[in-house]
Amino acid sequence: MLARQNPQLNKNGELIHLLSTEGLSREILTHILDTASNFVSVSDREVKKVPLLRGKSVFNLFFENSTRTRTTFDIAAKRLSADVFTLDIGRSSTAKGETLLDTVANLSAMAADIFVVRHSESGAPYLIAQHVAPHVHVVNAGDGRHAHPTQGLLDMYTIRHYKKDFTNLSVAIVGDVLHSRVARSDIHALTTLGCPDLRVVGPQTLVPESFSALGARVVHNLEEGIRDADVIIMLRLQNERMSGALLPSSQEYFQNFGLTPQKLQLAKPDAIVMHPGPINRGVEIDSDVADGPHSVILSQVTFGIAVRMAVMSIVAGNEA
């Protein structure tokens, strides 16, 4: 019964869409991470391709600006040997008033197999998933403030790569948690994978107490929040999603919540520092930290290709 209630799963409990990390079991999350590990080495081959999606058509529908995510999805699909089409939204029919579902219906008529969707409205990928044919799969590349599941999964892959086991970790997510779809995806995945000590850290205006209901400890002091942490995930200030003055200034924010080499010493000696990007140097993170020995930010980008390959290969292999 639960499998039918989750729009991401078929009646057998298999993944057919990736819309959110919320509601996915530890087994499914682990299966995605294990599959991704098989794809990491593809980047080192002379011919960087495997034939798993040969003959399939992947449509990238990015209704919101993106460079890193769109590029890694594009690379991932091509390495799976798919035919990849990226819609120029600014010149598409949606800019002329066509509805989202009409756009998807027309593209479906062009024999689409996978839609990768980024949209400013929370829930847009869910809406599309409800209206596509049974053989078509939807992957959420970020919707509003709701979810960014592949970023969450590549974060989990990165943590597992460096720390091996989630069940004895202290993880701090620092910054603009309120507006962050990445934070929500990370929180759901970390709690499902058994992280026992999860902290969300930032000013009260950006880290409301309500996040404790998701299984995280709310902390409004950076030093307390990162003390003895194994993993620190820094978030950028999402000014484009803020309404009103939630912060006095970026300089004051950096003074109180920016991660510097001095503050980083409060964490475990082997702590890793992550960031979903793009980085605002001197706002949420000091350049000496972003480029320093604790940073695994560029590894996240590399692992992101393998994780997105894993997600697309898994959903495409399961029938609705």
Rounded to an integer, the average pLDDT of 216-224 is: 98
* Reported confidence tier of residue 247, pLDDT bands at 50, 70, 90: low
Rounded to an integer, the average pLDDT of 226-249 is: 76
Write down the pLDDT at residue 5: 73
Give the range among 11-20, 44-53, 152-161 with minimum mean pLDDT: 44-53
- pTM metric for this prediction: 0.93
Write down the pLDDT at residue 96: 47
Give the range among 144-148, 222-226, 265-269 with minimum mean pLDDT: 144-148
Which domains occur in the chain, in start order? Answer: 2-147+302-316 (3.40.50.1370), 149-298 (3.40.50.1370)
Which tokens is 117 given? 């969707």
pLDDT reading at 243 higher than 60:
no
Write down the pLDDT at residue 76: 97
- Residue 99 labelled as part of a binding site: no
Give the range among 43-57, 128-142, 220-234 with minimum mean pLDDT: 43-57
Write down the pLDDT at residue 244: 45
- Residue 236 labelled as part of a binding site: yes
Write down the pLDDT at residue 90: 56
Each residue's pLDDT tens digit, 157-173: 999 999 999 999 999 99
- Residue 148 labelled as part of a binding site: yes
- Residue 8 labelled as part of a binding site: no
Write down the pLDDT at residue 43: 78
- Residue 181 labelled as part of a binding site: yes
- Residue 69 labelled as part of a binding site: yes
Kindly report the average pLDDT of the chain as a whole number: 91
- Residue 241 labelled as part of a binding site: no
Write down the pLDDT at residue 174: 98
Q: Do you find a cis peptide bond into 248, omega within 30 degrees of 0? A: no
* Reported confidence tier of residue 282, pLDDT bands at 50, 70, 90: very high
Query: Are 250 and 237 contacting, i.e. CB atoms less than 8 angstroms apart?
Result: yes
- Residue 4 labelled as part of a binding site: no
- Residue 68 labelled as part of a binding site: yes
Each residue's pLDDT tens digit, 87-146: 866 555 555 456 888 888 988 888 899 999 999 899 999 999 999 999 999 999 999 889
pLDDT reading at 263 higher than 60:
yes
* Reported confidence tier of residue 242, pLDDT bands at 50, 70, 90: very low
Give the range among 72-76, 94-98, 185-189, 278-282 with minimum mean pLDDT: 94-98
